[in-house]
């Protein structure tokens, strides 16, 4: 991408759940890549508003909209939510925060 692009950076901490598995990172509904435990991944994107979501098996995060400016590095953190959410709200078990 050109210097007019921006970058979405996602950090994933170390949690015991899904330790051997990677979360899928969806940007604007398309799988852009995966992130493993303890990793950081970077995705070059065009400037503007992008919809992000994490998924693994039947679990997901709530969609998160981020506005990325030209040349900006937009940093996010991926993780696991409350354990009970995995049973009652599987679409909220994964967490993606700014």
Domain boundaries, the chain: 6-97
Regarding the domain with residue range 6-97, which homologous superfamily does it belong to in the CATH classification? Answer: Carboxypeptidase-like, regulatory domain (2.60.40.1120)
Q: Would you state the pLDDT for residue 83?
A: 65
Q: Would you state the pLDDT for residue 9?
A: 98
How do the residues of the chain divide into helix, strand and coil, expressed in percent and rounded to 5? 5, 55, 40
User: CB count, 10 Å around CB of 34?
Assistant: 15
85 three-class SS: helix
Q: pLDDT (tens digit, 0 to 9) for every residue of the chain, 98 residues total?
A: 556 899 999 999 988 777 888 999 999 999 999 999 999 999 999 999 999 999 998 889 999 999 999 999 999 999 887 666 566 666 777 889 99
């Amino acid at each position: 991408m050109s210097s007019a692009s921006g970058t979405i950076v996602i950090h994933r901490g170390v949690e015991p759940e899904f330790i051997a598995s990677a979360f899928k990172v969806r940007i604007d509904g398309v799988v852009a890549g995966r992130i493993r435990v303890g990793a950081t991944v970077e995705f070059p994107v065009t400037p503007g508003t992008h919809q992000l979501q994490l998924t693994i098996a039947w679990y997901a995060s709530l969609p998160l909209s981020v506005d990325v400016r030209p040349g900006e590095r937009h940093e996010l953190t991926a993780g696991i939510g409350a354990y009970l959410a995995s049973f009652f709200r599987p679409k909220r078990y994964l967490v993606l925060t700014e």
